[in-house]
């Protein structure tokens, strides 16, 4: 007789409203019990490096999410996951674009050049333990024509995106080279996220087993 697979019982909240991060969590079999976007000032501190900014914001978002979860009866005892992504050229941090002018400036800066993407991920467990990781990816864009930039701006895929592009969209056609984690560039490094959760006792993989199929 085959034993029934274990199922996940621990609750989990994603401290983000990003549909991209939600889809990535779902990809590895995790369906958050709640989305808890953290409203933070994401401006870099004086002389703060891109990597330190990504790591700091991920942890701050997780802490805000954990505090919110504690105030909701159905989320008490939940794990909280948060992430933040920073795109930079050298030490120059590119904005999360809200206007087409911002996106145009970013695309022209990235055109034909190498850049880096830093994504911090943080997890807080029900007892308040904190764990975090920082993931670096290196990318190079093709040289973009004026027509390509104009067409991408018209798509509005850039809106709200760090560096003015989404690699999982049509801007994937701009990427000549990627060294590092694709999922981190999208917004959530899957290997590191699973490793952090597993290290804190959250067994997401126990729900992966397919149900028995009877003829």
Query: Would you list the domain boundaries of the chain?
Result: 12-207
**Structure tokens, 59:** 């942890």
Contact by Cβ (8 Å): 54, 84:
yes
pLDDT(196) > 70: yes
pLDDT on residue 203: 87
Nearest Cα to Cα of residue 126 among 79, 181, 81, 159 = 79
Is 84 an annotated catalytic residue?
yes
Burial of 128 (0-12, 13-18, 19+ CB in 10 A): exposed
Nearest Cα to Cα of residue 198 among 140, 151, 133, 144 = 133
Burial of 80 (0-12, 13-18, 19+ CB in 10 A): buried
Query: If pLDDT is split at 50, 70 and 90, which confidence band does 8 have?
Result: low
What is the CATH code for 12-207? 3.90.950.10
Which carries the bigger pLDDT value, residue 54 or residue 215? 54
Mean pLDDT of 83-93: 95
Mean pLDDT, all residues of the chain = 92
Contact by Cβ (8 Å): 81, 25:
yes
Mean pLDDT of 7-29: 89
pLDDT on residue 1: 39
Residue 171 CA, distance from chain mean position = 17
Task: Name the strand (E) or helix (H) holding 131.
Answer: strand 130-141
| Proportion of the chain in helix, strand, coil states, percent, rounded to 5 | 35, 20, 40
pLDDT(205) > 90: no
Each residue's pLDDT tens digit, 142-171? 999 999 999 999 999 999 999 999 999 999
pLDDT on residue 204: 84
Query: If pLDDT is split at 50, 70 and 90, which confidence band does 199 have?
Result: very high
Query: If pLDDT is split at 50, 70 and 90, which confidence band does 11 have?
Result: very high
The strand pairing partners of 131, in sequence order, are: 123
pLDDT on residue 206: 79
Between CA 74 and CA 176 the distance in angstroms is 46
pTM of the model: 0.90
Catalytic residue selected from 39, 84, 101, 198: 84
């Amino acid at each position: 007789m085959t034993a029934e697979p274990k199922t996940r019982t621990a609750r989990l909240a994603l401290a983000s409203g990003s549909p991209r991060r939600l889809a990535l969590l779902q990809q590895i079999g995790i369906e958050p019990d709640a989305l808890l976007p953290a409203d933070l000032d994401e401006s870099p501190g004086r002389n703060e490096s891109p990597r330190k900014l990504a790591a700091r914001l991920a942890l701050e978002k997780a802490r805000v999410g954990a505090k919110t979860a504690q105030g909701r009866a159905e989320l008490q005892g939940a794990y909280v996951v948060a992430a933040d992504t920073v795109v930079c050229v050298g030490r120059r941090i590119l904005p999360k674009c809200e206007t087409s002018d911002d996106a145009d400036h970013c695309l022209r800066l990235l055109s034909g050049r190498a850049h880096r993407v830093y994504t911090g991920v943080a997890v807080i467990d029900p007892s308040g333990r904190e764990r975090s990781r920082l993931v670096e990816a290196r990318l190079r864009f093709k040289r973009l024509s004026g027509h390509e930039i104009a067409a991408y701006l018209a798509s509005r895929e850039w809106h709200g995106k760090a560096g003015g592009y989404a690699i999982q969209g049509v801007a994937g056609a701009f990427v000549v080279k990627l060294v590092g984690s694709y999922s981190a560039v999208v917004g959530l490094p899957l290997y590191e996220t699973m490793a952090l959760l597993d290290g804190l006792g959250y067994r997401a993989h126990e729900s992966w087993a397919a149900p028995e199929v009877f003829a």
